[in-house]
Structure 1
Amino acid sequence: MQAKYDTIGINYNTTRKADKYLTERLLKLLSPRAEGLYLDIGCGTGNYTLKLQEKGYRFTAIDPSTEMLEKARLKSLKIDWRSGYAENTGLNADSIDGIVATLTIHHWTDLHTAFLEMSRVLKKNGKMVIFTSTPEQMRGYWLNHYFPYMLRDSIAQMPSPEKIKVALDASGLQVTDTEPYFIHSDLEDLFLYSGKHNPKLYLNPEVRQGISSFAALANKTEVDKGLEKLKNDINSGEIDQVMQEYENALGDYIFIVVQHSLNNR
């Protein structure tokens, strides 16, 4: 995992920016306090960490990628950037007032161990806000039409809500709220389904390099064929029909708010 993200991290900042709307929702759902200490787990190059810190909150940020952390440290000396894993943060017990986990839980090696660690470091009244997508949501991406095997592999590594709940229950945490997110046309963070409304984005190799599914999971032959078909469909207008066929009301991603269960507070 570290090697994969060291590779992706080389040009990660080119296309992966902190989106204003997503930052606002993270803050709203986290409800941080000025005097608190917060954790961004799987922080990458720190784009969201920095934007949250600029709102006046103190953050520790952890990621396994040396390449990404090097870029993060160049952005701010006020944030405590640390090398580590969700399964082993190295932080003291009950030391964190809240946690954000943005598009990261599908990269965790062991969901149960990671949530046990989040439960250990999170204070009893603290919140954890997870931003992720579900397998069911991902099956609704029109990208499946052009890159079926890449999406199959991406979906396979995405924890289902049921699997998340089992791991949370075992760690003494529980879901207290969920909020679906539908891709906005002005989305600034170019992650996997960022081109939902703008298919031409995927024709840009820099955009694909910043998306782990394209950069680390995809088969080159499938990508080349898929991109050629996508380009032709954009030019012919066929893409509009494909996109309509995949419209759904599930949301493209989801915010999950987590706290210690009542029995563990």
Structure 2
Amino acid sequence: MSTKYNLIGINYNQTRKADPYLTEKLVKHLNLKKEGLYLDIGCGTGNYSNALQEKGFQFIGIDPSIEMLQKAQAKNPAMNWKIGCAENTKLPEQSIDGVIGTLTIHHWTNLVRAFSELAYILKPDGKIVIFTATPNQMKGYWLNHYFPQMLKESITQMPSLEAVENAMQLSNLKITKTETYSIKPDLKDQFLYCGKQNPELYFDENIRHGISSFSALANIEEVEKGLTALRKDIDNGKIDEIIKSYENELGDYLYIIGELAYF
């Protein structure tokens, strides 16, 4: 996984920026306090930890990719950036007031081990906020129509809400709240479903390169074929019908908020 993101890390910051709305949601769900110390696990190039630190909150960023962390370090030398992963943070017991993980949980190799590690470093009244997409939500993306194999591969690697809840329970954690998120037209962080309402975005090679599904899971032939079909449907207006056929009430992404089950 670190090798994959070392490659994706090249030019990653061109398209992956902290979205103001999503950032404010992290502040709210994590109940951030100026005197606390927080962890951004799977921080990538540090977009969200930087955005939150700019608001006066103190963060540590951990990621397995050297390429990503070098870019994070270049942007913000003052923050504490560390090589590591959710399963092994190398942080002391009860040293962190809260944890965020944005679009990273599907890269964890062992959910129980990861949540056990996060529970170990979490202070008794700390919170964990995971931003992810569930398999059921992703089955509702109209991208399935144009890139079926890529989406199948992407969906396969995503843990279900039930799997996350079970892993948390085995790690002395509990889910206290979930909240769905649906793509907004002014989204600044151009992750997988960023083009939900603006399909033209997927013709930008830089945007596709910053999305792991396109850059690491997709077959080049399928992407080319899918883009050709998408271009045709945009030009003849059929895209509106395709998008409408995938409308649902599940939301596009999900916030999972948790805390220690006993303290």
Q: Does TM-score exceed 0.5, indicating one fold?
A: yes
The alpha carbon displacement at 1:160 in A equals 0.3
Partner of 2:14: 14
CA distance in 1, matches of 2:25, 2:234: 32
Q: Secondary structure at the match of 1:124?
A: strand
Matched, 1:86 2:86: yes
Partner of 1:231: 231
Partner of 2:113: 113
CA distance in 2, matches of 1:74, 1:153: 33
For the aligned residue pairs, the C-alpha RMSD in angstroms reads: 0.5
The alpha carbon displacement at 1:75 in A equals 1.1
Partner of 1:40: 40
Partner of 1:205: 205
Unaligned regions of 5+ residues in structure 1, if any? none
CA distance in 2, matches of 1:138, 1:225: 21
Letter in 2 for 1:148: P
Partner of 2:260: 260
The alpha carbon displacement at 1:126 in A equals 0.2
Matched, 1:28 2:28: yes
Letter in 2 for 1:27: V
Partner of 1:68: 68
Q: Which runs of 4+ in 1 moved over 3 A?
A: none
The alpha carbon displacement at 1:151 in A equals 0.3
- The alignment covers a number of residue pairs equal to 263
Letter in 1 for 2:220: K
Partner of 2:129: 129
Letter in 1 for 2:241: Q
Identity in percent: 58
CA distance in 2, matches of 1:240, 1:255: 28
| Aligned pairs (5 A) from 1:114-193 | 114-193=114-193
- 1:169-190: per-residue Cα shift (whole Å, max 9, x none)? 0000000011100000000000
CA distance in 2, matches of 1:47, 1:28: 17
CA distance in 2, matches of 1:28, 1:38: 14
Partner of 2:101: 101
Unaligned regions of 5+ residues in structure 2, if any? none
CA distance in 1, matches of 2:77, 2:109: 29
Q: Secondary structure at the match of 1:53?
A: helix
